[in-house]
Amino acid sequence: MPALRLLRTAAATLAFASTLLTAGGANATGTMNGWEISLSGQSPAESLMSVSTVNADLAWAAGRTAGHGVIMRWDGETWSEDTAPGLPDVWEWSSVSAVSADDVWAYGTVERDQALVHYDGRRWTSVPTTGPTDDSWPEVPVAAVPGRLFKGGKALYTYSDGEWATFALPAMTHIRDIEALSADDAYATGMQYPVDGGHPVTYHWDGTTWTLLDEAPVPAGTDTAEIAVESPDSVYVAGWAQPDVDPPVPSVVHWNGSSWKDVTGALADLYLDAIVPDGRGGLWATGTDKAAPAFSDPVFWHFDGTTWTREDGTTASDGETRWPSYSFYDLAPVDDGSGAFWAVGDYQAPMDEHGDQAVHGLIERSTIPATG
């Protein structure tokens, strides 16, 4: 699930500023190293922050363009803007979570207000939310399962049968990502800030309350913001630290139900913004690669349970080639039985004759599962 990543690095700040420019819509295809482009070019979205799948023929992605929110929908063949009635005008849709074709949730922000909507298969309906807007990390995560919705931010919120319940958190604690296995089994991660002097937090929901797990053993200065859950005995938490001069230092730790283990291994030089179980005991990870300080190629990392392998994504045909800038913010399984995954984010196009540079929404799909 995404947090406010676009404001955390110089490269990301440039991308954020560029999203105020105009970009339109078209699908493109291409293949390299097991990843193909499903959406690029002048699409309805300039940046996509979240993706969620129902099945091989139905998925949603959420983001923004030119200062207002956009939700994209996959129909089994193409990605196009969701035009179902009822969506309010927001600055950004930052999180989407789909349970079924008629049970989809999306969270967004507009100015200092938050927006929550539900899709019933025909239209989107605004749902009253609870708690204050998280001004520090407005890209609040939501996770939906049959019978319950989970929301992060300055507290942990659960929604069921039309009622909200709030679990208060210590001061300066922000929940940055949530994953749920069922209505009675969910996990959330984030930080008790500041990063320097604070510490990561990971909570488990048992159907009644949230319980704080042992502190994840990440290096000091690591901002934990991502969680991926295979089972109660296999939970990954990830984040990254930003040294003064060196590239970002990612960290991934694994919870086996009773203790943590650092599994970062060879993973390096990555603003780590998305992780997802690969369905075979391993993990996919991506974000913004900074192996070369001045630019960022599309990069994915695969963990087979023992070893990390770096894998190139596909470059867009209209992308900047001298100083490429690619970022991915979320991953989700395609759910077509192939073991394929969606990755959503954005990339920069070359400067035009006026010296302006556009940012375009990007969706890639893995075509050959890693065999590591």
CA angle at residue 150 from 148 to 156, to 5 degrees?
A: 135
Strand order in the sheet with 341-348: 31-32, 35-39, 359-366, 341-348, 326-333
Q: Which amino acid is at 234?
A: S
For residue 369, name the pLDDT band (cuts at 50, 70, 90).
Answer: low
Please state which of the ranges 31-40, 83-92, 116-125 shows the lowest mean pLDDT: 31-40
What end-to-end distance do the CA atoms of the chain give, in Å?
25
Residue 20 has pLDDT above 70, yes or no: no
pLDDT value of residue 357:
87
Percent of the chain surpassing pLDDT 90? 83
Looking only at the bridges linking them, the beta strands covering 79-81 and 210-212 are unpaired
Residue 16 has pLDDT above 70, yes or no: no
Average pLDDT for residues 247-262, to the nearest whole number? 97
Q: Which amino acid is at 2?
A: P
Mean pLDDT of the residues in the chain: 90
pLDDT value of residue 109:
95
For residue 356, name the pLDDT band (cuts at 50, 70, 90).
Answer: confident
Tokens representing 69 are 């929110």
Average pLDDT for residues 305-316, to the nearest whole number? 96
Tokens representing 252 are 């991934």
Per DSSP (E only), the strands in 101-214 are 103-110, 113-119, 124-126, 142-145, 148-151, 156-160, 163-167, 173-182, 185-192, 199-205, 210-212
DSSP letter at 310 equals E
How far apart CA 70 and CA 47 sit, in angstroms, is 9
Picking from 201, 209, 142, 140, the residue whose alpha carbon sits closest to that of residue 176 is: 140
For residue 371, name the pLDDT band (cuts at 50, 70, 90).
Answer: low
- CA 82, distance to chain mean position in Å, is 19
From residue 2, give the alpha-carbon distance in Å to each of 92, 335, 349.
12, 21, 23
pLDDT value of residue 354:
79
Average pLDDT for residues 230-254, to the nearest whole number? 94
Tokens representing 57 are 């023929």
Look at 57 and 244; give whichever has higher pLDDT.
57
pLDDT value of residue 329:
98
pLDDT value of residue 18:
34
Residue 7 has pLDDT above 80, yes or no: no
Please state which of the ranges 56-60, 81-85, 165-169, 335-339 shows the lowest mean pLDDT: 335-339
Residue 39 has pLDDT above 90, yes or no: yes
For residue 353, name the pLDDT band (cuts at 50, 70, 90).
Answer: confident
